[in-house]
């Protein structure tokens, strides 16, 4: 055994102790912070400019303590989702490549029709695919390419049913797993404007096809709304300290909105990320939603946020999709299953590459480092 579990015992105990202390602290302050949500319900609008400057949640047209019950959906609608996974490039492997696998599904909710699943792998091995300048495409750079591939697949699946949906006046909900903001590019947005524009372009294609778009974030750890209340109550001074040293600590928005009844949503807020300035009419808004006891974060483009009817439709459709899946939309579950690359599938791909290289007189050898790692 290479992992010394005995050495970890005191560290694990310490972690559990500090987590328990943090929970007690959050429980003590939570009631007060929730009261501030009502106290600053209207006055929060005066802090829009400062909220954007400091990177906290920006109030929308709704009072920040607004709560909205669901509007039940009884007629059929299309629910479409896409998700992706990847194999990172490995400098020590038999060949330098990366792979993106995108799973997607189209379901006509309420019709009894069989869902239409799809799984599409993309293999990248050319220099122009593998490098950005002198940087190998991996980590955040590969994450962005996967997210763009997911949205492109979502767009394509929406277009498959768009004509049929328009003829029957059937709504389409297109669901992405996770945020609609390319957060990983926030620090380097000016260097990657082409990727941001391509991503926003796909969002616009979904809009033109007549579909609604939403990002579903399970167990969110954001603190943007709590930070808004922190700004109003304490002023700017706490923001000169790291998050864990600010009053209330890392109390999350999900904890703040734990009072929401099941099925209800919070007020709409605008995301203050500088990336939003590049999104135009697709700039991102969000609300929190209690689904089966879990508080999820739902992100939507501005062209949906400005319409109460469309927000209600997204709200109701996500709840409908989550009725039998304990708080997570069915189509996202299926898309994830279709996207996952199993260990056995990865081994089969490696064997396929080995055979193809042998047939062409190439020697598929791993590096000495990798050879020793595989002997362990």
Concatenating the DSSP letter of every residue in 275-320 gives: GGGGSGGG-EEEEEEEETTEEEEEEEEHHHHT-HHHHHHHHHHHHH
Q: Is the pLDDT of residue 367 over 60?
A: no
Tokens of 80: 């479409």
In angstroms, rounded to a whole number, what is the distance separating the alpha carbons of residues 70 and 313?
9
Tokens of 292: 């089966």
Q: Under CATH, to which class is 62-341 assigned?
A: alpha beta
Average pLDDT of 5-34?
A: 90
**Domain coordinates of the chain in residue numbers?**
62-341, 344-375
**What does the pLDDT read at residue 4?**
86
**What does the pLDDT read at residue 362?**
82
In angstroms, rounded to a whole number, what is the distance separating the alpha carbons of residues 186 and 274?
7
Tokens of 67: 């709560």
Average pLDDT of 287-299?
A: 96
Among 14-28, 109-123, 179-193, which is the least confidently predicted range? 179-193
**30 contacts: CB under 8 Å, gap ≥ 6:** 251, 255, 256, 258
φ/ψ of 344, rounded to 5, equals -65, -35
Average pLDDT of 327-332?
A: 94
Residue 336: band (very low, low, confident or very high) from pLDDT cuts 50, 70, 90: very high
Q: Is the pLDDT of residue 370 over 70?
A: no
Cα–Cα separations (whole angstroms), residue 66 to 42, 44, 366: 10, 12, 58
């Amino acid at each position: 055994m290479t992992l010394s579990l005995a050495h970890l015992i005191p560290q694990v105990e310490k972690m559990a102790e500090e987590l328990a202390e943090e929970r007690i602290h959050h429980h003590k302050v939570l009631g007060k912070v929730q009261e501030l949500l009502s106290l600053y319900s209207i006055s929060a609008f005066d802090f829009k400019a400062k909220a954007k400057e400091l990177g906290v949640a920006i109030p929308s047209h709704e009072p920040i303590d607004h709560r909205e019950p669901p509007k039940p959906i009884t007629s059929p609608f299309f629910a479409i989702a896409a998700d992706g996974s990847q194999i990172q490039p490995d400098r020590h492997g038999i060949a330098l490549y990366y792979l993106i696998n995108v799973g997607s599904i189209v379901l006509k909710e309420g019709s009894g029709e069989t869902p239409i699943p799809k799984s599409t792998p993309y293999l990248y091995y050319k220099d122009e695919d593998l490098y950005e300048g002198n940087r190998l495409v991996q980590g955040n750079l590969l994450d962005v390419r996967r997210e763009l591939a997911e949205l492109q697949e979502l767009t394509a699946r929406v277009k498959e049913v768009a004509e049929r949906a328009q003829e029957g006046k059937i709504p389409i909900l297109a669901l992405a797993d996770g945020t609609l903001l390319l957060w990983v590019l926030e620090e380097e947005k000016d260097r990657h404007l082409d990727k941001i524009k391509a991503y926003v372009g796909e969002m616009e294609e979904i809009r033109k096809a007549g579909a609604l778009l939403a990002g579903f974030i399970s167990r969110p750890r954001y603190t943007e709304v709590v930070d808004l209340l922190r700004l109003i109550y304490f002023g700017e001074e706490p923001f000169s300290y790291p998050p864990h040293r600010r009053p209330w600590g890392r109390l999350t928005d999900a904890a703040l909105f734990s009072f929401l009844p099941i099925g209800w949503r919070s007020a709409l807020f605008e995301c203050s990320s500088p990336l939003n300035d590049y999104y135009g009419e697709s700039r991102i808004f969000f609300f929190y939603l209690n689904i089966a006891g879990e508080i999820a974060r739902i992100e939507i483009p501005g062209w949906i946020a400005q319409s109460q009817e469309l927000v209600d439709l997204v709200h109701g459709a996500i709840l409908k999709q989550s009725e039998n899946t304990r708080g997570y939309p069915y189509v996202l579950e299926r898309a994830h299953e279709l996207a996952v690359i199993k260990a056995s599938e990865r081994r089969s791909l490696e064997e396929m590459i080995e055979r193809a290289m042998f047939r062409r007189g190439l020697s598929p050898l791993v590096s000495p480092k990798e050879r020793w790692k595989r002997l362990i």
